[in-house]
Amino acid sequence: MTDSQRSQLLHLGVIALLFVAFFVLPTYHVGNLSRIMVLAVYAIGYNFLFGYTGLLSLGHALFFAAGMYGLGLSMELFDLTTAPALMVGLASALIVSAVIGFLALRTSGVSFMIVTLMFAQAGYLTILYFGSYTRGDEGFVIQQADRVLFGLDLSNDTARYFAALVLFSVCFLAVARLVQSPFGRTLVAIRENEERARMLGYNTVAHKLKAVVISGTIAGVAGAAYALLFGYAGATFATVQYSIFPLLWVLLGGAGTTIGPLIGVIFMFYLIDLSSDITSAYMLIAGVVLVLLTLFAPQGLAGELRKRVFKWMP
Amino acid sequence: MDFGPHLLLASLEGAVTAAILALTAMGLSIVFGVMRVVNVAHGEFYMLGAVIAWWVTSLIGGHPAIGFVLALGIAPLLVGFLAAAADKVILQKINYDPDRTIVATIGLLYIIQQTTLMTFGPDARPVQPPFNTRIALPWFEFGDAGFAMYWPWGLSITSYKLFVIMAAIGILTALWLVITRSKIGLIMRATQLDSETALAFGVPVDRVYMWVFGLGAGLAAVGAVLVVPIQQAHYLMGHDPLLLAFITVIIGGLGSLPGTVIAAILIGMSDGIISVFFSPTLAKIIATLVVAMVLAFRPQGLLGRTAH
Amino acid sequence: MDAVNILTTKGLTKAYGGIKANTDIDFALPRGKTMALIGPNGAGKSTFVGMLCGRIPATRGDVFFEGANINALPAHQRISLGIAYTFQITSVFAGLSLHENVALAARRRLGADVAAVNAKVADVLARVGLAERTDQIAGDLSYGHQRLLEIAMGLAQDPRLFILDEPTQGLADSEVEEFIALINTLAGETTILLIEHNMDVVMKTATHITVLDAGEVLAAGTPEEIRANAAVQAAYLGTSDA
Amino acid sequence: MVTKPESKFTRRGMLKTMAAGTGAIAATSALPGLSGFAQAQSSAPIKIGFQVHRTGIGAAYGRWYNRTTEAAVKRINDMGGINGRPVELVAEDDGTDPKRGAEVVEKFATQHECDIAFGTLFSHVVYGSSPRAGELKLPYFVVSEGHHVASGKLNRYTLQPGITDVKSQVQAMAPFVANNLGKKVTMIFPDFAFGHDHRDFFTAAIEAQGGEVVEHIAIPPTETSFSKYFPRIPRETEVIYHVMVGPAVLTFVKELGEFFGPSSPEIFGFIDSLEAVDIKSPGLEFLEGTYFWEGNPRNAQADQTSHDKAYRAAVGVDDNGASVEDAQDVSTYSHMFGCWETLNIIKRGMETAGYQGPADRAKLIEAVEAMSDMPLSDDHPQGAKRFNGKTHQTFGHQYISKVSDGKLVVEHTTSIEDGLYEDEVDYTTQSF
């Protein structure tokens, strides 16, 4: 079996596992998984930029929120139905990430991180400033009756799970394929050594901009899906905290691995969920675990697995 | 209020913000400059400074000035030692790898925040300023009756806020002297320029890193002790100063200490002054975008050097 | 199009603040030849080639490639025209395999044609003698092998002009000999611009030599002419370690 | 203060307590859930999922919501539980975050298999959680004072029977402000939804009283220094209306005092600006003589009711509104009573509906929707309430207190009618 066949098997296996999980896991965990899959899409988008292109953004919450509000506001204010509203969400994230990418890519390294952070902060404040439309921090509910896509009631647990699974699978497979393509490999080259890549004749700026837009759009799709599947849009999702989350998920799961984002989200979710059962000081446990992971699993969970066991892993 | 007095008041408030920001950002700038690591827990060291200040002052009775002066000595020391220990136990072990440092300091942030929540509690707690006289300020105008001085409604500052500005200037000057004139400063600068060569010349780079990390955290704590009689200690108070300090350091130019001070003044003052012209939230949005644009069009920061 | 010269410069100048690193350099690189650019440390050699391939913006002056003025083109577009470049300090993708390193270089021209890319990679790796290490991680190679890898990456682009910035620096004597042999196999196939300190290498490979000193062209000509040039002897060869 | 005869509900509760007998009470309090619940068909506990802000920005409130809730549950269990079954509290921290809030609601419904969810304060968490509660068909009793429930934006499973919403509170303040303090008002509020509610509802209400708002000053939520905004206060201002939340509230109030110095207009604030803050804190001296809205008077008043006394004792709050164990630890007295009252309403609702288990959730909601007047009692120590079953929102008395000698002394109590407004929704028409 070649490495690429193995990777394909792994990817399909993950999807099959998630499919089966719906039938075997208790309701609670099925519910969690729907949410985890949507957040994993967010993490996949983030990983595309951070893990594969090597750009550390702290502004992804804005892309997530662009998708979320693009969908939410177009439904709330203009009574759009789900499918066109999803398109609006996707388009908003695409436009926002293109503009911010264009400006922020004038910088690099830590400056890139700070510029994206500041644009996101300005975006967050803008959501609050237009509170009469967005309801600011409080946000708004997307009514159950509106959350219907192609006749499917997405507020129903089963429909929600499979909608999340489809979205996850599409993004997961598409990104896994993309990073193996010449374009994706060039991004890796830029991550490894941008100057070398440029001096091989690659237009690294254009590549990075494309990466920001793809990454931001995927994040936005996750935001739109979150609003749609869980019925709520709010400014909390545009705060810095929600830019740090995907970074954390990706680093924990394994940056630059295809399954790292999913693993990172699952790990972080259950770390909080299980430790909060034991103690109200669950953040303390989470903190200690994070520190231990950096000490003993520096490549993230999937990254360590690749380093130690499955060298072929994508 | 008339435009002139309003602008004066906003500038004074901006100066207080700038003073605190300069101290906090300076701590981050030194760590950044010398060690090249992103310390996400910097804001938590700031918060700890404020919380320890509250703790010290609430233990000491008598005139508030006694507790305050003690806090100004104790809090930065304790925070500095804690940070140095964290450096030794965690950051040194992961070799200051950029990505891992981010995760580790996020972990540290959780630990410090939760521990504070469990011990100090969720309430905002005030510390009494050592002195706090309201000083009404006059304004001048040329009216029909010629040059006249009057006392506009609300135009005032407190003696403590003036003290904060002076104290920040004093501390930063002292720090500048230490870095440029003393042997410790020389060692720090040598390590910053080239840690490998410094190591070859017998500089104990690990120890330098440890104490630089401690010093950075200590400076944040100093800023917090100064601010806590104005703003109260709260377990979540480290968040915004962290972001602002980061922005300041980058705008100033990585590793440039004078740049950091200039950026702090610029950001603090513009935060105050822009608020005169726009509605508050809009002013914040504009100030944030302006600073982001400055960075986008001058990526090396104000005093940073270009690559070529 | 200039039939004789693949690349020429007119009055190319670089100033850092008030200090000139290169002053009014008029330079011509004959097609299909191997040109060595020599000069003492600080003569401005790297600045000059930096301006040729667009890494360093020129203060003034013109660069012509295949007769066309390429002043306005950014580095990656100049590379796309058929200029390959190896760095003074070896620059490879340390985290990737040798195969992927070379494939990245080949892919820009060959695109998604996997078979063609693989064939190219195998070909150039064999040519530089790294065929057996194709699956190794570049960062694990010895310094000398990394240099060879970088040359392989240059070759994989089938360049019309190949610029090598001090390629033998840090190589063992045996590796230098291999390098000389490799360059000589390329002669006629492509044009080579070599920045080199090692006069032995220069004399064994170059058909033409340009001498830079203090940012200006001191002399240009065949190796014999340069050897005979009194000014060069005084300014450079006399003090050289060669 | 208005006093009405005790309702049959309370009397029934008292009778039940007496029936359980003194011995049983002792046993119950020692071993809740094991004995003393003889009447129950099933002795399994009723599980109440308590969504609590233990961490995050709401933690100061969360702690007191927790204490009040535990006290109320203990009282209910001491009195024989609900339908003879003990009440078990399942507390989960939501981090004051709407995403985690929704997750916690799911956890209550599907993992802990709670009968209901309860106790959320911050509006954005309510908004984030409520859709999930509706989908999971889990009755969700919030104690948030937000206008979200009555605005019709939520669903039939979300109710707010224990605390008046902000629209009603604000509206009830306008007559007092206009008639006693002044007609020209400058409002200072946080620039997010909670502040906007104040802006919109108070501006309309004061205009209805013949006053006007001369300036709106919205403060960005990330702000930590405020003096620079105060010059926007017009000179003609007769009353400052302020409401702030979050950790910077004390700074805000202090700087307001420093700005005005000796010559300030009348100042009227929502106690939200100073919840969990000692009014005698250094720098707050200038608050002397200013007015506050209070949801429930923090300082025990001269005419304190026996109900307030009992409630204070049960929760562990002294006459100054601080913890009996630590006088520095000031409660969120104006909000936390809502937990106490809501739990008592849940108990009555479950008993009326003959609640047996999750299958009876709809019946529980219908039973609560059928409620209307709730008189002042040990169940409702804050005062009488009128619940609107159509809008799922309760309406109660509000208190306006003046600071004198560092204590909040009630000057005026509004009537329930002062706070009524037209229905914006009829949830009872929605299907379950």
| Model pLDDT for residues C105-149, shown as the tens digit of each residue | 998 888 878 889 999 999 999 988 888 888 889 889 888 889 889
Interchain proximity D247–B232, CB inside 8 Å: yes
**Residue A244 falls within a domain, yes or no?**
no
pLDDT of residue B306: 46
Q: Which structural domain range is residue A224 located in?
A: 3-239
For residue A158, is pLDDT > 70?
Answer: yes
A145: Cβ contacts below 8 Å, ≥ 6 apart: none
Whose tokens are 């500005």? That residue is B165
D323: left (phi over 0), alpha (psi -120 to 50) or beta: beta
pLDDT of residue C88: 85
C227: Cβ contacts below 8 Å, ≥ 6 apart: C237
High-pLDDT (> 90) share of chain A, % = 55
Residue D261: pLDDT band (50, 70, 90) is confident
Bridge partner residues of D190 (DSSP): D219
Residues D222, B244 contacting (CB under 8 angstroms): no
Of the partner residues A129, A135, A282, the one whose CB lies closest to the CB of residue D193: A135
Interchain proximity D225–B13, CB inside 8 Å: yes
To probe the interface with B, which of D214, D227, D232, D245 has the most B CB atoms within 10 Å?
D227
Which structure tokens are listed for C52? Answer: 């040729």
**Residue A11 falls within a domain, yes or no?**
yes
Looking at per-residue pLDDT, the higher value among A73 and B199 belongs to A73
Interchain proximity D258–B134, CB inside 8 Å: yes
For residue A109, is pLDDT > 60?
Answer: yes
Residue in chain D closest to A242 (alpha carbons) equals D99
Interchain proximity D228–B122, CB inside 8 Å: no
Contacts of A182 in chain C (CB under 8 A): 107, 111-112
Chain A to chain B Cβ contacts (< 8 Å): 119
pLDDT of residue C32: 87
Residue D31: pLDDT band (50, 70, 90) is very low
Interchain proximity A203–C76, CB inside 8 Å: yes
CB atoms < 10 A from the CB of B132, how many? Answer: 18
Interchain proximity D127–A140, CB inside 8 Å: yes
Q: Give A88→chain C minimum CA distance, Å.
A: 33
pLDDT of residue D315: 94
Q: For the residues of D187-249, what is the DSSP string, one character each? A: EEEESSHHHHHHHHHHHHHHHHTT-EEEEEEEEPTT----GGGGGGS-TT--EEEE---STTH
**Residue A260 falls within a domain, yes or no?**
no
Least confident of A296-300, B45-49, B146-150, B280-284: B146-150
**Residue A179 falls within a domain, yes or no?**
yes
Provide mean pLDDT across the span D247-254. Answer: 80
Best CA proximity match to A232, nearest among D131, D117, D155? D131
Q: Does any CB of chain D come closer than 8 Å to the CB of residue A279?
A: no
Interchain proximity B284–D222, CB inside 8 Å: yes
Q: Does any CB of chain A come closer than 8 Å to the CB of residue D78?
A: no
Contacts of C96 in chain A (CB under 8 A): 188-189, 192
**Residue A247 falls within a domain, yes or no?**
no
Q: Give A199→chain C minimum CA distance, Å.
A: 6
Q: What is the mean pLDDT of chain D?
A: 86
Dihedral of the alpha carbons of C100, C104, C107, C109, in degrees to the nearest 10: -150
Contacts of B136 in chain D (CB under 8 A): 261
Contacts of A293 in chain B (CB under 8 A): 103, 107
Q: Does any CB of chain D come closer than 8 Å to the CB of residue A285?
A: no
Best CA proximity match to C219, nearest among C205, C204, C208? C208
Q: What is the pLDDT of residues B122-167, one digit of tens each?
A: 888 888 888 878 887 777 777 676 777 777 777 778 888 899 999 9
pLDDT of residue D42: 67
Q: Does any CB of chain A come closer than 8 Å to the CB of residue C163?
A: no
A-proximal residues of B, 132-191, CB under 8 Å: none
High-pLDDT (> 70) share of chain D, % = 90
Q: Give B2→chain D minimum CA distance, Å.
A: 8
pLDDT of residue C236: 62
Provide mean pLDDT across the span D132-155. Answer: 92
Q: Supply the ipTM of this predicted assembly.
A: 0.83
Contacts of B126 in chain D (CB under 8 A): 250, 281-283
Q: Give D288→chain A minimum CA distance, Å.
A: 33
Residue in chain C closest to A191 (alpha carbons) equals C93
In order of start, what are the domains of chain B with their CATH numbers? 3-297 (1.10.3470)
Burial tier of A248 (Cβ tally within 10 Å: 0-12, 13-18, 19+): buried
Nearest-angstrom CA–CA distance, C215 and C23: 6
Residue A111: pLDDT band (50, 70, 90) is confident
B-proximal residues of A, 225-254, CB under 8 Å: 240, 244, 247-248, 251-252
A-proximal residues of C, 171-230, CB under 8 Å: none
Q: What is the mean pLDDT of chain A?
A: 90
Contacts of D329 in chain B (CB under 8 A): 121, 123
Interchain proximity B117–D228, CB inside 8 Å: no
Nearest-angstrom CA–CA distance, C61 and C58: 7
pLDDT of residue B305: 57
Contacts of C55 in chain A (CB under 8 A): 195, 199
Q: What is the pLDDT of residues B10-28, one digit of tens each?
A: 888 889 989 999 999 999 8
pLDDT of residue B304: 66
Q: Does any CB of chain A come closer than 8 Å to the CB of residue B77?
A: no
For residue D12, is pLDDT > 80?
Answer: no
pLDDT of residue D35: 41
pLDDT of residue C238: 54
Nearest-angstrom CA–CA distance, D230 and D257: 11
Q: Does any CB of chain A come closer than 8 Å to the CB of residue C55?
A: yes
Q: Give A161→chain B minimum CA distance, Å.
A: 31
Q: What is the pLDDT of residues A53-84, one digit of tens each?
A: 999 998 999 999 999 999 999 998 898 888 99
Angstrom CA distances, B85 to B36, B89, B93, C81, D206, stand at 18, 6, 12, 55, 58
Looking at per-residue pLDDT, the higher value among D231 and D408 belongs to D408
Residue D2: pLDDT band (50, 70, 90) is very low
- Cα radius of gyration rounded to whole Å, chain A: 19
High-pLDDT (> 90) share of chain D, % = 63
In order of start, what are the domains of chain D with their CATH numbers? 8-165+304-396 (3.40.50.2300), 168-294 (3.40.50.2300)
For residue D34, is pLDDT > 70?
Answer: no
Provide mean pLDDT across the span C188-204. Answer: 87
A72: left (phi over 0), alpha (psi -120 to 50) or beta: alpha
Angstrom CA distances, D240 to A290, B280, D200, D221, D406, stand at 48, 18, 16, 19, 20
B-proximal residues of A, 292-311, CB under 8 Å: 293-295, 298
Interchain proximity A295–B94, CB inside 8 Å: yes
**Residue A57 falls within a domain, yes or no?**
yes
Residue in chain B closest to A300 (alpha carbons) equals B100
A142: Cβ contacts below 8 Å, ≥ 6 apart: A71, A72, A75, A76, A227, A228, A231, A232, A233, D131
CA of residue D4 relative to chain centroid, distance? 21
Residue C2: pLDDT band (50, 70, 90) is low
**Residue A64 falls within a domain, yes or no?**
yes
Residue in chain D closest to B58 (alpha carbons) equals D328
Interchain proximity A273–D192, CB inside 8 Å: no
Interchain proximity B100–A298, CB inside 8 Å: yes
Q: What is the pLDDT of residues C42-100, one digit of tens each?
A: 788 888 888 988 888 888 899 999 888 998 899 999 999 989 999 988 889 988 989 99
B-proximal residues of A, 107-126, CB under 8 Å: 107-108, 110-111, 113-115, 117-119, 121-122, 125-126
Least confident of A188-202, C185-199, D131-145, D315-329: C185-199
For residue B95, is pLDDT > 60?
Answer: yes
Total of domains in chain A: 1
Interface chains of chain B (3 or more CB pairs under 8 Å): A, D
CB atoms < 10 A from the CB of B146, how many? Answer: 7
pLDDT of residue A313: 73
For residue B308, is pLDDT > 80?
Answer: no
Which range in A279-293, B42-56, B182-196, D214-228 is most confidently predicted, on average pLDDT? B42-56
pTM: 0.87
Q: Give A241→chain B minimum CA distance, Å.
A: 10
Q: Does any CB of chain B come closer than 8 Å to the CB of residue A281?
A: yes
Contacts of C153 in chain A (CB under 8 A): 200
Provide mean pLDDT across the span A239-260. Answer: 89
Residue in chain B closest to A128 (alpha carbons) equals B281
H or E element, residue B117: helix B98-119
Q: For the residues of D167-199, what is the DSSP string, one character each? A: HHHHHHHHHHIIIII-SEEEEEEESSHHHHHHH
**Residue A158 falls within a domain, yes or no?**
yes
Interchain proximity C94–A193, CB inside 8 Å: yes
Provide mean pLDDT across the span B263-281. Answer: 84
Q: Give D66→chain B minimum CA distance, Å.
A: 13
Interface chains of chain A (3 or more CB pairs under 8 Å): B, C, D
Of the partner residues B93, B102, B289, the one whose CB lies closest to the CB of residue A122: B289
* Chains C and D are in contact, defined as 3 or more C-beta pairs closer than 8 angstroms: no
For residue D16, is pLDDT > 50?
Answer: no
